[in-house]
Amino acid sequence: MGEVEEIRYDTRVGARWLVLFLWALVVMMALQVVLSWRNLESLLLTGLNVARPRRPGINDLMTTPR
């Protein structure tokens, strides 16, 4: 019976790659936010307007049956 050679994995290399991968994800997400800032801003504004009680607008006048 030969002795089983213990395979030792250098965890520092894995941690370095994991950190690099996470940084790449953060940078890509930041780029997406910067590129779609106008869209994000309009989404936030519509969310705030939905949370706040709103006055009837032109869409309500057009869609309500008389």
Q: What is the DSSP string of the chain?
A: -PPPPP----HHHHHHHHHHHHHHHHHHHHHHHHHTHHHHHHHHHHHHHHHS-----HHHHHHS--
Are the beta carbons of 31 and 40 closer than 8 angstroms?
no
What's the pTM value of the predicted model, to 2 decimals? 0.38
Rounded to whole angstroms, what are the CA distances from 58 to 12, 42, 45, 64? 61, 19, 18, 10
Q: Which residue has the higher pLDDT, 21 or 14?
A: 21
Tens digit of each residue's pLDDT (9 = 90 or more) over 20-42: 999 999 999 998 877 777 676 77
Average confidence (pLDDT) over 8-16: 76
Residue 15: per-residue pLDDT:
83
Is pLDDT at 61 greater than 80 in this prediction?
Answer: no
> What value does the mean pLDDT take over residues 4-24?
82
